């Protein structure tokens, strides 16, 4: 397991097994707090996330919360996470000690509140009565044989029932809308409505919360605020306002009143009920039901804290820093709290209004290309991605950029998970379906030790049927539909973060089809992946490039040519976006460089591999002399593809600069081999 931890040492140190993890990358150093910390402090560790620094915070509030919880519940109990939470850590490749959610924290919070028993009993009766009556109608439909006839009506009834039961159930419905391993597709489609259609709460209540959190009247902060909500969601709603001091337009996100105790109470009841369903869940999904509730609870409590969302925005700003095609709103941290979030107003056109986008003269194809590339960068490069990119949260800017809002629901993929996803792509390209099935186990879809042999033929059938007609006819919805059938037939559980990945891809593909019905998602996605394989300096991706280029020990010349053509296509499409034209002269040099497929580092790494790796050297020599002939023609074809993309003088300078190092490494390698022979 690729655990990612930092030991946090304070004046009152935590137990040795307590670690603090960053978001998806190994952290080599320790953070040592001073012996006397101020009342409020914020440690920041800058590390490299690819080429971007990653910020890492340790707040005094979190430490004090941890100490108070330890005092009330006992250090031993809190330092030992539940088996379900340990499984989540194992699957993610990260450990998270300062969770807002844990079963123990929820239980202690609920049971220590005033009138807890009465509140739990009354809420339990309400839930059991409402859901019990609904399930009885489903059973009646099944008995009289009309269950298939009334599916749409029952799905609509379920959506209305979840709205009546409150924000926890609305959120649960939104999650179920992306869980084909739990409910059927027609119910999922109905529950998708919950993502956009939630009743708002009164304006005056919202304004009172804003004033309470900011500690001053609205008029002293904002010169103008909208009289109607701009959007309403399960946990909060949004207003548009103007800052009095600067005149800047902002969006204010306000949390629903008294929602936190309701959420904690419902999570306690959810997990109590789940404990009775573990046997069924293990049989159907290969995991206990408590794990599913823990995944849900962890994400829900994160969304409930708007200070975390503000940090998410900062991380996205950092990731896309210098990218002229993506707009992330600025956050006004001095005005934010756990219940109020103030961020820059995005003056763009929502993707819910495709006609307005077309009428604005925006290059739709260029905009969609930028959107797909931004989504793939989040998944495969940053490991931090927007978990809810529905059309209302995505904007088309008039200068060709794509903009995102609502960062409460984001998900993290560890370095390990990102590499496994890329492995799965490589295995799909190489048609290695046994390894694809093993990738499912490594990603947490299957329980460890599960026999994957029955799944291999199903995966082969799904993939070959989906791509058999070529990239132009491929779409994720058809693959997902077939995969849903596989989920019903095998003990497959879709981990929460990957349900968000699936939803993210499906939603963005849906936006593409809405704006341009003949848009080919994979015709943009494949060039991006090809460019990453050819140019990314990550050694792990270099290994995967070699796996792609060799099949059964034979070098794939045609595959290399296709990768280069696709990568050049990605560079051309991205650099032609109008957003590049709006960059100031300071950034023009960098952008001019990005208009070419820079293969300098790849060529240098390839040369080093040829010199030092005997296995690779043998394979390449065989590739050039296969079938007892020199494959000069193939080599020339490859050179013609890249000659306009390579700065020959620059490569020569780089090679000359590295020549002493190469000679030294070569001599060391030779001496080691001689000594080992003796």
| Domain end marker among 553, 568, 591 | 591
Q: For residue 171, tell me if it sits in a domain.
A: yes
User: In this structure, are residues 134 and 157 in contact, taking their beta carbons and an 8 Å threshold?
Assistant: yes
Both 617 and 584 in a single domain? no
Both 611 and 582 in a single domain? no
Both 547 and 634 in a single domain? no
Both 560 and 614 in a single domain? no
Q: What angle do CA 10, 15, 20 make, to 5 degrees?
A: 65
**DSSP-derived 3-state class of residue 249:** strand
Both 651 and 580 in a single domain? no
Q: For residue 375, tell me if it sits in a domain.
A: yes
Q: For residue 551, tell me if it sits in a domain.
A: yes
Both 610 and 529 in a single domain? no
Confidence grade of residue 38 (pLDDT, cut at 50, 70, 90) = very low
pLDDT at 443: 85
Both 577 and 661 in a single domain? no
Cite the beta strand spans of 328-376 per DSSP E.
340-344, 349-350
- Inform me whether the pLDDT recorded for 225 exceeds 80: yes
Q: Which residues contact 305 (CB under 8 A, 6 or more apart)?
A: 100, 338
Confidence grade of residue 91 (pLDDT, cut at 50, 70, 90) = low
| Domain end marker among 591, 626, 656 | 591
Q: For residue 655, tell me if it sits in a domain.
A: yes
Q: What whole-number distance in Å separates Cα of residue 64 and Cα of residue 70?
A: 10
341 strand-pairing partners? 253
Both 460 and 514 in a single domain? yes
Write out pLDDT tens, residues 243-276. Answer: 999 999 999 999 999 899 999 999 999 998 888 8
Both 541 and 611 in a single domain? no
In this prediction, residues 123-138 reach a mean pLDDT of 91
Q: For residue 113, tell me if it sits in a domain.
A: yes
Both 522 and 655 in a single domain? no
Catalytic residue numbers read 388
pLDDT at 276: 85
Q: For residue 328, tell me if it sits in a domain.
A: no
- Inform me whether the pLDDT recorded for 7 exceeds 80: no
- Inform me whether the pLDDT recorded for 78 exceeds 50: no
Parent domain of 660: 598-672
Both 546 and 495 in a single domain? yes
242 strand-pairing partners? 224, 249
Q: Which residues contact 450 (CB under 8 A, 6 or more apart)?
A: 286, 441, 491
| Domain end marker among 564, 591, 618 | 591
Both 617 and 548 in a single domain? no
Q: Among all chains, which residue has been given the structure tokens 């220590």?
A: 112
| Closest C-alpha to 559, from 648, 435, 426, 467 | 426
pLDDT at 112: 84
Q: For residue 206, tell me if it sits in a domain.
A: no
* More reliable by pLDDT, 469 or 116: 116
Write out pLDDT tens, residues 586-642. Answer: 444 444 445 667 776 777 777 666 666 666 667 767 766 666 556 677 777 777 777
Q: Picking from 53-57, 117-121, 278-282, 642-646, which range would have the lowest pLDDT averaged per residue?
A: 53-57
Give the CA-trace dihedral at 295, 448, 79, 172, to 10 degrees.
Answer: 10
Q: For residue 200, tell me if it sits in a domain.
A: no
Q: Exposure of 157 by Cβ count < 10 A (0-12 exposed, 13-18 middle, 19+ buried)?
A: middle
Q: Count how many domains the chain has.
A: 3
Write out pLDDT tens, residues 96-130. Answer: 545 678 888 888 888 887 788 888 999 999 998 99
Q: What whole-number distance in Å separates Cα of residue 76 and Cα of residue 647?
A: 61
């Amino acid at each position: 397991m690729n655990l990612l931890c930092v030991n946090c040492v304070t004046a009152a140190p935590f137990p040795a097994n307590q670690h603090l993890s960053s978001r998806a990358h190994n952290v080599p150093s320790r953070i040592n707090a001073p012996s006397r910390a101020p009342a409020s402090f914020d440690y920041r560790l800058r590390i490299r996330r690819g080429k971007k620094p990653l910020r890492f915070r340790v707040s005094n509030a979190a430490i004090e919360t941890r100490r108070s919880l330890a005092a009330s519940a006992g250090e031993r109990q809190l330092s030992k996470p539940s088996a379900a939470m340990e499984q989540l850590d194992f699957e993610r490749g990260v450990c998270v000690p300062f969770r807002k959610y844990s079963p123990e924290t929820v239980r202690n919070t609920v049971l220590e509140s005033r009138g807890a028993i009465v509140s739990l009993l009354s809420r339990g009766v309400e839930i059991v009565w409402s859901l019990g009556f609904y399930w009885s109608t489903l059973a009646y439909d099944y008995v009289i044989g009309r269950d298939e006839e009334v599916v749409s009506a029952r799905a609509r009834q379920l959506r209305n029932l979840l709205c009546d039961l409150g924000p926890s159930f609305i959120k649960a419905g939104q999650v179920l809308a992306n869980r084909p391993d739990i409910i059927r597709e027609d119910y999922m489609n109905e529950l998708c409505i919950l993502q956009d259609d939630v009743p708002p709460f009164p304006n005056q209540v919202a304004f009172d919360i804003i004033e309470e959190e900011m500690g001053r009247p609205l008029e002293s902060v904002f010169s103008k605020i909208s009289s109607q909500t701009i959007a309403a969601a399960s946990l909060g709603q949004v207003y548009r306002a103007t800052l009095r001091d600067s005149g800047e337009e902002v969006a204010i996100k306000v949390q629903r009143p008294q929602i936190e105790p309701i959420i904690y109470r419902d999570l306690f009841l959810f997990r109590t009920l789940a404990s009775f369903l573990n046997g069924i869940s293990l049989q159907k999904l290969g995991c206990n039901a408590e794990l599913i509730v823990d995944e849900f609870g962890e994400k829900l409590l994160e969304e409930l804290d708007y200070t975390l969302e503000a940090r998410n925005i900062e991380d996205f700003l950092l990731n896309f820093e210098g990218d002229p095609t993506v707009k992330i709103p600025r956050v006004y941290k001095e005005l934010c709290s756990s219940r109020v979030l103030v961020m820059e107003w995005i003056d763009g056109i929502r993707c819910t209004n495709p006609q307005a986008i077309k009428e604005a003269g925006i290059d739709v194809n260029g905009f969609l290309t930028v959107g797909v590339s931004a989504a793939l960068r989040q998944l495969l490069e940053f490991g931090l991605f927007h978990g809810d990119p529905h059309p209302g949260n995505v904007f088309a800017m008039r200068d060709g950029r794509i903009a995102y809002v609502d960062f409460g629901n984001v998900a993290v993929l560890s370095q390990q998970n990102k590499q496994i996803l890329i492995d799965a792509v490589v295995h799909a390209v190489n048609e290695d379906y046994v390894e694809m099935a093993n990738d499912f186990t490594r990603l947490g879809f299957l329980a460890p030790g599960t026999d994957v042999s029955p799944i291999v033929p199903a995966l082969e059938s799904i993939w070959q049927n989906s791509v058999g007609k070529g990239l132009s006819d491929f779409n994720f919805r058809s693959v997902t539909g077939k995969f849903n059938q596989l989920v019903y037939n095998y003990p497959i559980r879709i981990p929460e973060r990957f349900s968000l990945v699936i939803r993210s891809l499906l939603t963005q593909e849906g936006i593409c089809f809405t704006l341009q019905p003949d848009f080919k998602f994979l015709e943009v996605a494949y060039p991006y992946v090809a460019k990453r394989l050819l140019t990314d300096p990550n050694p792990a991706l270099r290994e995967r490039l070699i796996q792609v280029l060799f099949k059964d020990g034979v070098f794939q010349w045609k595959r290399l040519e296709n990768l280069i053509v696709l990568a050049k296509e990605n560079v051309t499409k991205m650099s032609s976006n109008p957003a590049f034209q709006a960059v100031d002269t300071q950034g023009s040099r960098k952008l001019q460089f990005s208009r070419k497929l820079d293969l300098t580092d790849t060529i240098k790494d390839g040369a080093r591999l040829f010199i030092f790796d005997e296995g690779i050297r043998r394979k390449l020599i065989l590739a050039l002399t296969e079938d007892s002939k020199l494959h000069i023609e193939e080599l020339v074809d490859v050179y013609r593809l890249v000659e306009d993309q390579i700065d020959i003088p620059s490569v020569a300078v780089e090679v000359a600069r590295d020549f002493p190092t190469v000679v030294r490494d070569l001599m060391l390698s030779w001496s080691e081999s001689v000594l080992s022979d003796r």
